[in-house]
Structure formats: structure tokens, C-alpha cells
A = this chain, B = another copy of it.
Amino acid sequence: MNMHITRKVDYAVRCVLFLARNNDRISSVDEISGEMSVPKTFLAKILQRLMKTGIVNSTRGVKGGFQLARGPQEISLLNVVEAIDGAVAMNVCAVDKKMCGFSASCSVHPVWVELREDIRNRLKRWDFAKLAVIKKYQRVIKRDCH
């Protein structure tokens, strides 16, 4: 069970957190990547994904950049995680039984299904309005802890 979050998810979360805290204006990739210590071109990709999944809006051209597509309280951690990684699950059968000929007779299957629900519920409970007020990220440190 490799349950570590990927950098991609970590970066996406940081990024949305930054946008939540600066939602009165448009922020460029350059600015976000600088503030949140994320490689610029990589962050650009991540923002494209967040854009496609309707979490952020983009403005092209000079003075362009990104902004949350809806209020921070309307964006859950689960939204961001699933935007980047797709469906959260320990294995595909927990999402769709049909993906696994085994599942019908697999003793462990119900456990993975439960676990998936636990995780999704927990991630659903946290929105970026809540997260944004907890404490500010420090800018000194280059990378996070996974």
C-alpha cells in the first residue's frame, strides 16, 4: 500500500491554498510557483488540470493568470485530490467491481470499499476556506513532507 501523496497532489493543494488566500485578484503561474516553491512548468500543467476540472479559471494574455472558479468553501480537499489523481481508491475494484473478476469472491474487497469511503469522507470534510485560515505556509522551506 503506497499511500503517500504525490508531489503533484501536494503542489495542487498548495496552489489552491494560495489562490484561496489571494482570491481577490488573478495570480500568475510565475507568482504562485515562486511563493509556493513549485517548479514553474510543472505547476503550469497542474493548473491546466485544475482548470479542466473546473476548480480554477484562467485568463490568457498579458496580466493573465488563475483564480478560483468558486468560493474556497465550495472546494474540498477531495475535489483537488480527485482532480489531479482521479478517483481516490486503494484499488480499482473499490470504485467499480467490474474492473476485477476477483472481487465477487474476494474476502478483502469489502474492506477496500469501506476504506475508500473513510478516506473520501475525511477529505470531503475539509474545504479551502477552513484550510486557509489555519495558519500561513512559511515561505522559507522549499518542499513539503511526503
Q: Which residues of A are at the interface with B, using a C-beta cutoff of 8 A? A: 1-6, 9-10, 13, 17, 77, 81, 84-85, 88-93, 99-112, 114-115, 118-119, 122-123, 126, 131-132, 134-138, 141, 143-146
Looking at the complex, which one of B115, B136, B141 makes contact with A122 (CB distance below 8 Å)? Answer: B115
Looking at the complex, which one of B5, B105, B123, B134 makes contact with A137 (CB distance below 8 Å)? Answer: B105
Top 5 nearest A-B pairs by Cβ distance? Answer: A100-B145, A93-B145, A91-B146, A107-B134, A105-B138
Q: Is the CB of B145 within 8 A of A88?
A: no
Query: What CA separation (Å) do A1 and B89 show in the bound complex?
Result: 10
A140 to chain B, nearest CB (A): 8
